[in-house]
Amino acid sequence: MEHESLAGQPILRKSSETESIQIDSSMTLKRLSSRQDFDEVDVVRVTMNGEHGTRTNSKCVKMFYVLSGQIRTTTDGKQYVAQAGDLICIPKGVTAHIEGDDAEALIICGPAFDSAFDV
């Protein structure tokens, strides 16, 4: 479902009304906000079970707030493990391998996510 941008206005995006998108074999997301809403930030709700892969985003800080399950990220050989209530922040330009174990999380990106900068 497409939503109009309401520049200068609050928006209400109900998860129950948001389309699920299969990103890869391990991740499904619901886009709660996007670049069309705000250039500064976007928020998605994801389920993740398995390896999402290794990625570097040259433009966005990515924050993973874990709602349930577990998310692991490895950068420069160091592994970070987050469980429900934990937050992992990945600075722009940092290469991270990401995987989840029956995880549900909010991913907050600032500025708003653009796949052109995620390699």
pLDDT at 7: 59
pLDDT at 15: 77
pLDDT at 115: 78
Residue 17 backbone dihedrals phi, psi, to 5 degrees = -105, 5
Q: How far apart are CA 49 and CA 99, in angstroms?
A: 7
Q: How far apart are CA 8 and CA 106, in angstroms?
A: 24
Q: How far apart are CA 51 and CA 44, in angstroms?
A: 18
Structure tokens at 39: 């250039």
Does the pTM exceed 0.75?
yes
List per-residue pLDDT tens for the chain, 119 residues long.
344 545 577 888 887 888 889 999 999 999 888 888 888 899 999 999 999 999 999 999 999 999 999 999 999 999 999 999 999 999 999 999 999 999 999 999 998 888 788 77
The answer to whether 104 touches 68, Cβ cutoff 8 Å, is yes
